[in-house]
Amino acid sequence: MKVAFLAKGDDWGSMPFYFNISSPVGKGYPNAPFEDVAFVQFCFAAIASNTVQETPSNLKEPWSKVKVTGHMDQVTQDGIDAWQRDRRKRFGAIFEVDGIFSVAPPMRTNYAKETPYSIVGVNYILMMSTLSIWPRLDKHQLAGPVAGAIRKAISPELTA
């Protein structure tokens, strides 16, 4: 996991960067790196538990079941699938429903025109749900197993 910066012209409101994964997480990747799986799990759990921004029920219900363990399981896969089905329902067939959170390549947030990588979109919602601590997500009560990876990711950028 590492911090990824937005390219000039990317418009994600007040999100100056996002937390990217280093390997795909989801269907077909049962042995994805601990930190990557834990970060995706953290995103789901933190968004579902937030009181700042209402989480749609079709996401809140599966995401509230996700625990931050760093190990890929069916509950995490269900959370990924719910996110992708939600995006497809809201925005149409341009959104992939493949059960995978892919790595966003350097300086890219979209894999197709106006179609962001899942990891980028979830980061934006996470930021809006945790504005009081963003980007110090390591301070979130649910960060647990991923807190060290978050600190490591932001340390060179924010404390250098």
Model confidence pLDDT, tens digit, residues 106-158: 877 777 677 788 999 999 999 999 999 999 999 999 999 999 999 999 886 66
Amino acid at 94: I
Mean pLDDT calculated for residue range 30-52: 96
Model confidence pLDDT, tens digit, residues 59-69: 999 999 999 99
Place of tokens 């340390």: 155
Model confidence pLDDT, tens digit, residues 94-109: 788 999 999 998 877 7
Q: Is the pLDDT of residue 159 over 60?
A: no
Helix (H, G, I), strand (E, B) or coil at 4: strand
| Alpha-carbon torsion angle 128, 63, 106, 138, nearest 10 | 60
Contact (Cβ atoms closer than 8 angstroms) between residue 102 and residue 121? no
Mean pLDDT calculated for residue range 41-55: 93
More confident residue, 12 or 54: 54
Question: pTM of the prediction?
Answer: 0.92
3-state helix, strand, coil in the chain (%, to 5): 45, 10, 45
The distance from CA 134 to its chain's CA centroid, rounded to whole angstroms, is 13
Q: Can you give the length of the chain in residues?
A: 160
Mean pLDDT calculated for residue range 1-27: 84
Q: Is the pLDDT of residue 24 over 90?
A: yes
Mean pLDDT computed over every residue of the chain: 89
160 — pLDDT class (breaks 50, 70, 90): very low
Mean pLDDT calculated for residue range 28-48: 97
Per-residue pLDDT at 43:
97
Q: Is the pLDDT of residue 92 over 90?
A: no
Cα gap 86→92, rounded to integer Å: 10
Element (H, E) at 19: strand 17-20
